Amino acid sequence: MNAVPQLNAVSQNSYSWSYHGGLVSQKKLSAEVDRVSPEKMHKGMEKMNAHLEMESLFSELYVFNVNARFSKRIQAKIKDLLQQMEEGLKTADPHDCSAYTGWTGIALLYLQLYRVTKNQSHLQRSLDYVKRILRNLNGRRVTFLCGDAGPLAVGAVVYHKLKNSSESQDCVAKLLQLQRTVISTDSELPDELLYGRAGYLYALLYLNTEIGPDTVPQSVIKEVIDAIIESGKNFSKEERKTDRCPLLYQWHRKQYVGAAHGVAGIYYMLMQPIANVDPETLTELVKPSIDYVRHKKFRSGNYPSSLSNETDRLVHWCHGAPGVIHMLMQAYKTFKEDKYLKDAMDCSDVIWQRGLLRKGYGICHGTAGNGYSFLSLYNLTQDRKYLYRACKFAEWCLEYGAHGCRIPDRPYSLFEGMAGAIHFLSDISVPETSQFPAFELRPQKKVNKVEQDS
């Protein structure tokens, strides 16, 4: 084995091992992921097995912590990137209020920085963006990431933290008015996360997590869940897959798998404990549907972008293992079966091998979004191998702009650009409370503690 671990001038209990001939070759392979053939990719992955074994050995021998020196690098980079982001936002689309590519995403970032640092100036900055957003809602879409639900939900939380209950309740009331469109049987609304019912459901669950469990009545949540379930059952029946996949969904006539447009994101939301989906529905409808998706896994451990796609190419949160892994981890928490955890670990391996993307550093299809899979798996298993992997992806983000990655259309936004990388770096500093933005929900007991502390 020619991969020799080198200590990067930090203590042995730090995160910062690198492999000469190991991680370097991983970066070289992964940076080409979007234009290398699957055959070459598989050969490259086989070469990585030895490096994975070495990494596993060192994760057992040493306790990887995010040490003070690395934390200082992160804080310095966050400060630098924030300055770049604010300057760049001066030319951003003034009408894009979405969390995905617009101003709500920036408000959400500053809310995150406030959570991590307790610096009141970050909360005030978030409020500045919220005020701007709430004056420009367009009413065309209803989801958290790409519609009015996101601005209203973030606004409600920001005002709540500022103890302005009147403005907070006004945002909640306007958010609940969107529900009629979401549950209407005449609506052509899809069910996926970015533009569909699951995206509206997330907004409701987000409020009950961040403000309190009675902020949105359970009856309202149940009606949205019932609409999602009924839609999935009906489409499964149309496709004659009721026995194999009781809940099936499509978007633009494709049966997508990933977190953004596919079944992984929908099943993940239905399994959230705060959603209170009844055990029978989870066991008889959600669980067999997840198992149907599991059997579509490629030999590499990756997943197709859609159920009919046989190309093992994309390793993004939106399409591929980095999104599916969250569904699998939640399935393990919900059903307590080891097969889901094993599959999640397989996803982690393929993300480690191929997850540094030429597409950039962002959340949706970039290094930051892929890095969140390691943080989530670390919090589930407490295996510091995954914290190590997350830190290595963070190290890549510390060299933002130096790898020749593609510049996104919205280069400073939360899900495509710089704001997403900042969000990820801020979570590396406090990995035990990390949260993939606009997707993961913090456990309620942790939220309550944060509320008490604040």
Question: Which residues fall in the annotated binding site for Zn(2+)?
Answer: 318, 364-365
Q: How far is CA 58 from the centre of its chain?
A: 28
Q: Is the sign of the CA dihedral 275, 281, 282, 285 positive or negative?
A: negative
Which amino acid, residue 405?
A: C
Q: Tell me the binding residues.
A: 318, 364-365
d(CA 139, CA 429) in angstroms, rounded, equals 37
Contact between 85 and 412 (Cβ < 8 Å): yes
- The HSE-up count of residue 123 (CA atoms within 13 Å, CB side) is 16
Residue 152, CA distances (Å) to 129, 155, 173 in order: 12, 5, 9
Those residues with Cβ within 8 angstroms of residue 291's Cβ, 6 or more apart along the chain or in another chain: none
Which of 377, 378, 320, 385 has the alpha carbon at shortest distance from 354? 320
Q: Please provide the DSSP assignment of 357-393 as one string.
A: -TT-S-SSSSHHHHHHHHHHHHHHH--HHHHHHHHHH
Rounded CA-CA distance 304/332 in Å is: 21
DSSP annotation of 182 reads H
Tokens of 66: 């995010």
* Phi-psi region at 344: left, alpha or beta (left = phi > 0; alpha = psi -120 to 50): alpha
